[in-house]
Chain A
Amino acid sequence: MEAVRPEASAPERYGAFSTRIIARRDLSANAFELTLVKPPAFTFYPGQRVRLRHGQNERDYSIASSPSEETIRLCIRKVARGLLSPQLAGAPAGTTMTFSGPHGYFTFKASPRPAVFVATGTGIAPFVAMAASGVYGFTLLHGVEQAEDLFYRDLVQSRAAAYVACLSGSSPASVAHHAGRVTGYIENHLPRRACDFYLCGRQDMIRDVTLLIDEGFRGSLVYAEAFY
């Protein structure tokens, strides 16, 4: 995913690293996964981002792999006129680049309240990293247009107490799903109680879900990572 900087004006401590592409695979027609060499000195918490630089352009991407893995995996949406994703989509294995990080504070915080993860599209990436790192028992809503974009479904479903695919498109789907946006599911089906909400994805989703939380889920915490 491509992420904007978090709104909290908090300090960050990070380093600069060189890396190269090990592999690239399509996740769907709309997204691909990039596997990068993980420099030995690079450490991060699940949910954090790297700022990838290639040529003169740089973009933030959430890490979709666990810190214990030997590589870094990024889940990247194909943006036809994007600043970086078209170059990355066409970059062969062996391509070198630099990154800084880890950035951000979108990390899992253990709490007695139930955790509700809400993602749209490649916003699933930080939750994949969390699930791969041992976080479990959460409710995960993944909003996409069509079922082929339910990336990493097997992994996150195996760790979730409840996994809800929210399909907003009209294509027929063979997977169990909620027909419509994540907001519709939250408004009509999610039990009203204080939760820890983690929101990652499109800005309009974050706005709409946050307003629903304000109205119906009093006492909840909201952690958000918006991308553009």
Chain B
Amino acid sequence: MKIYTGSGDRGKTSLFSGERVPKDNERIEAYGDLDELNSVIGALIAALPRDWQDLHQELQKIQSDLFRIGAWLATTPAAPAAAALQPLDPDDAAALERCIDRLDAALPPLTGFILPGGCPPAAWAHVARTVCRRTERRVVRLCADTADAESTAQLDRAIVYLNRLSDCFFVLARHINRRQGIEDALWKR
């Protein structure tokens, strides 16, 4: 099945709201990073043991949340197309907090900086954490340029979600290493 039209061959693409913009437009940069984050999460899921279904499901839920955020990033403020979008649910960030608290409660207290790494899925979780931070920075920049109240409210929720998600990946990396019997590697000055 062909999935291309070629309409982007000259460096422009269409936003969900219909505008033709250069591919280095700040919205494209933002949802491009979000797409990268989602792909890294896919790599993380693929690296997890098959029988860790609790994490598979948790991470796939996050992937779906990111699609909802991506739709808002791809839509200009007050565009008619925004009417078709699902508002972001503040409880999605609250669900991440519950996940962080649950995983963190079973981990030894932090005594210093941790070197990103460990087993492959934990290393992927650290990559996801850093890509998530970059995405968050892009969305913050986008939000600063947005005047429309509804779009600002949705981007604000996206920022809260991404902020929490990055923390979630940090705890998740430690959780995965511990579950695999791998100790945290501490930074030695």
Given contacts A13-B86, A109-B81, contact A221 B7 (CB under 8 A): no
- Interface centre among B12, B18, B80, B81, by most chain A C-beta atoms within 10 angstroms, is B18
User: Does any Cβ of B come within 8 Å of A224's Cβ?
Assistant: yes
B53 to chain A, nearest CB (A): 23
User: Does any Cβ of B come within 8 Å of A211's Cβ?
Assistant: yes
Q: Are A8 and B1 in contact (CB under 8 A)?
A: no
Chain A contacts of B7 at CB under 8 A?
206-207, 210-211, 224
Given contacts A8-B74, A9-B67, contact A222 B6 (CB under 8 A): no
Chain B contacts of A220 at CB under 8 A?
20
B94 to chain A, nearest CB (A): 19
- One digit per residue, 1 when the CB lies within 8 angstroms of any chain B CB and 0 when it does not, for chain A 155-192 equals 00000000000000000000000000000000000000
Chain B contacts of A5 at CB under 8 A?
3
Q: Are A228 and B18 in contact (CB under 8 A)?
A: no
Interface residues of B in 120-154 (CB under 8 A from A): none
Closest A residue by C-beta to B68: A11
- One digit per residue, 1 when the CB lies within 8 angstroms of any chain A CB and 0 when it does not, for chain B 57-84 equals 0000000100110110010000111011
Closest A residue by C-beta to B3: A4
Chain A contacts of B17 at CB under 8 A?
221
- One digit per residue, 1 when the CB lies within 8 angstroms of any chain B CB and 0 when it does not, for chain A 55-97 equals 0000000000000000000000000000000000000000000
Report the interface size for chain B: residues with CB under 8 A from the other chain: 31
Q: Are B86 and A224 in contact (CB under 8 A)?
A: no
Given contacts A9-B71, A11-B86, contact A224 B1 (CB under 8 A): no
User: Does any Cβ of A come within 8 Å of B35's Cβ?
Assistant: yes
Q: CA separation between A214 and B71, bound complex, in Å?
A: 23
B17 to chain A, nearest CB (A): 7
Q: Are A4 and B1 in contact (CB under 8 A)?
A: yes
Chain A contacts of B2 at CB under 8 A?
4, 203, 228
Q: Are B14 and A105 in contact (CB under 8 A)?
A: no
Q: Are B10 and A214 in contact (CB under 8 A)?
A: yes
A16 to chain B, nearest CB (A): 18
User: Does any Cβ of B come within 8 Å of A213's Cβ?
Assistant: yes
Top 6 nearest A-B pairs (CB, nearest first) are A221-B18, A109-B80, A210-B7, A10-B71, A207-B6, A8-B16
B interface residues, Cβ below 8 angstroms from A: 1-7, 9-10, 12, 14, 16-20, 31, 35, 64, 67-68, 70-71, 74, 79-81, 83-86
